[in-house]
Structure formats: structure tokens, C-alpha cells
Amino acid sequence: MMGEPKVMQAVRFLAPRRPFALQAVAVPEPGAGQVRLRVKACGICRTELHLRDGLLDLGRRDFTVGHEIAGIIDQVGPGVSSDRIGERVVVYYYDGCGRCSYCNEGQEQLCPDPAAQPGFTTDGGYAEYLVVRARNCVLVPDTVSLAEIAPMGCAGSTAVHAGRLAALRPGEWAVVYGVGGVGNALIQYAKACGARVVAIGLGDERLALARSLGSDETIDASAVPDVAGHVGSLTGEGADVVFELVGTSDTMRQSVSMLRRRGRIVLVGYTAQDLQVHPIELIVREAKLMGSVGSTLQDLHEVVDLVARGIITSFVGRSLPLERFAEGLEALETQTCLGRVVLEM
Ligand SMILES: [Zn+2]
Ligand SMILES: [Zn+2]
């Protein structure tokens, strides 16, 4: 088509343990069942650091990173109604095979052979344009900005998914260990479920934000020598649920220690470190240890609704243009930005 851009800027993952590179690549065209987005916002997630550092290696090379993507549909492929052009959407980043038992149940985050995973194995949202499957584009109400909804595509939907796996009940004590993007959304989700929340993090500013989002209690892990003991004294017996979002050996150990009988731990965060636990600690308390990865498409629909209704607030700390992505990654790594860093295109 005349006048349309043929190349665009994109931030590319080349290989593990190499910095991302801003490169000119071809503007993609939507295939059957797909749409093209003019990307407007893309959140910066810790997963990008894990990819860059080689901690997460899914075997693919040379693709555009970024999976917290919001934009406007500007072109549709065969089989997609042109009515969708102009829709403001946030992207569900799992595109399952559509044939396995997990996909059949809507658990595409568990699909062993996904067709695409924007920002993980296929081109993602640190770019001006992106092609994705039409059904993976979730409509965003006009009252919600694309910059605020972008991080909810991962941080928010991951929080809702973890919260659902934990099956939180009113009155339970939920510990949110780690107050980044997922943690801030989880505090609000747990409160909406009627739970009482203890947020654990580092520094006054972050914990003040956690309280403003509804956390009943906060613990500064840098100032309290016995974090698990402190949770015990706040809750009586211990936590009903611990959401572990940090993933160091130390924080995982403490999470086991702070659990009450029949308590549940949901592991979300990870580092290169191991979890070491003596089975007797789990056995005598009939504790449950579970993992939580990403989200379902339905979780994303739910978080968009929760944001639109003001039940979850997405906290954007800084907005940067695409070409300044490295500054955003550094702010996340050094924890110098309160709230999510979002690239805006
Ligand atoms: Zn599948
Ligand atoms: Zn993410």
C-alpha cells in the first residue's frame, strides 16, 4: 500500500548474555486469523532481564522482545472482520497449539508446543508494529489508557492467575513476598478476595505504595532480621498463603517457615537459586507447594475488567520512547523506578 512504512524499529534479542539491539526490521503483514497492531505501549518485565542474562533460554534466537503489549489494530488478515480495525487492545501472549489437552481446557500457558509466544519465542512488542492472532487481542475500555493496561498483560494477569490457583478465601492471611509489578497487582487482588495482606519488600517508598494499594501490614526485609517470625507474630499462627515473587533460596526458605498448617505457597518468581526444604516441614503441616506460570486468556479478560472497574490500579512509574529501552531495563534491574517502566511508541 502506498505511503505505508515498510521498515520499523524493533528491539531484538540476538543471543543469551548479549545486550538487546535496536534494529530496523520489516513491518509484518497479518496472515489468516491474525491482526496487525500499531503498538502504543509495552511494559518492561523482569523476564526481559532473565532472557538477556540467559537464565531463561527457550532455544530461540533473533526475535523482538516485549510481551506486555497494548496497541491499536490497524490491519486484519483473511478471516478477521474489518470491524476490528481501530480497536484498542491488550495482548494475551500465549498462542497455544489449539490441539493439546491444555489448550482444550483454556490453559494455553501450559501448552507444550505453542504456535507463538510474542516476546519469548516469536516477535514481541518492543517495536512499532506486531502481528498476533485476533482472538488474543482483548478489548480495552476507553476509560483505561494503553500505557496503564500494557503491564497488566503480564504482571496483572500473572497476579490474577496466581491468586486463583491459591483459591484465596475471605479472612485468610496472604503474604505477598516481593512488591514489584506482580506483587502490587496481587495485593489488590487479594484484598478484593477479602484476604488480609502482608506485603514484604525493600525500602520505605515501595512499602508505602504497597500500603496505599491496600496492604494491611508491611515488612521491610532489609530492616527485620527474622521475617518469618515477624509474619508469625502479625498473623497468629502464620500465613494461609504465601505468594513467592522473589525466588532466592533465602526468600523461598522463609516462605516455607512462615506458613501455618494447611498453608499454601505459590511460587512465581525465580532466580538461578534452588529451593531447599526438608519434607517434614511440609508433611507435618500438610502444606501445599505449587507453581504458577503466566495466565489464561480468561485471566487477562478478568484483569482488564478489574482495572476498568478501579479494583486494580496499574501503577506506571516511568514512560520512555522505544529507543531508550536500555534505560528502562536498567531502572528495573537497579530498582530505581517505583512502578512499572513502560515504553510508548
Ligand atoms: Zn496446546
Ligand atoms: Zn512478564
Cβ count near 49 (within 10 Å):
15
In this prediction, residue 4 carries a pLDDT of: 60
Say which ligand is closest to the CA of 116: 1
Residue 310 Cα, ligand 2 centroid: separation in angstroms?
Answer: 22
Residue 132 Cα, ligand 1 centroid: separation in angstroms?
Answer: 17
Per-position b or e across 145-159, b if 16+ CB within 10 A of its CB? bbbbbbbbbbbbbbb
Dig out the grid coordinates for 277 from the structure. Answer: 526444604
Residue indicated by cell numbers 512465581: 268
In this prediction, residue 197 carries a pLDDT of: 98
In this prediction, residue 335 carries a pLDDT of: 87
The pLDDT tens digits for 247-285 are 999 999 999 999 999 999 999 999 999 999 999 999 999
Please state, rounded to an integer, the average pLDDT across all residues of the chain.
Answer: 96
Dig out the grid coordinates for 193 from the structure. Answer: 478476595
Dig out the grid coordinates for 4 from the structure. Answer: 505505508
Say which ligand is closest to the CA of 156: 2
Query: Is residue 3 pLDDT above 70, yes or no?
Result: no
Contact call for residues 256 and 279 (beta carbons, < 8 A)? no
The pLDDT tens digits for 299-331 are 999 999 999 999 999 999 999 999 999 999 999
Mean per-residue pLDDT for 128-148? Answer: 98
Say which ligand is closest to the CA of 104: 1
Task: Please tell me the total number of residues recorded for the chain in this structure.
Answer: 345
Mean per-residue pLDDT for 118-128? Answer: 97
∠ CA 172-173-178, nearest 5°, is 140
User: Which residues have a Cβ under 8 Å from the Cβ of 131 and sit 6 or more positions away?
Assistant: 28, 29, 30, 31, 34, 35, 36, 37, 77, 123
The pLDDT tens digits for 5-29 are 699 999 999 999 999 999 999 999 9
Say which ligand is closest to the CA of 113: 1
Helix, strand, or coil (residue 3):
coil
Residue 139 Cα, ligand 1 centroid: separation in angstroms?
Answer: 24
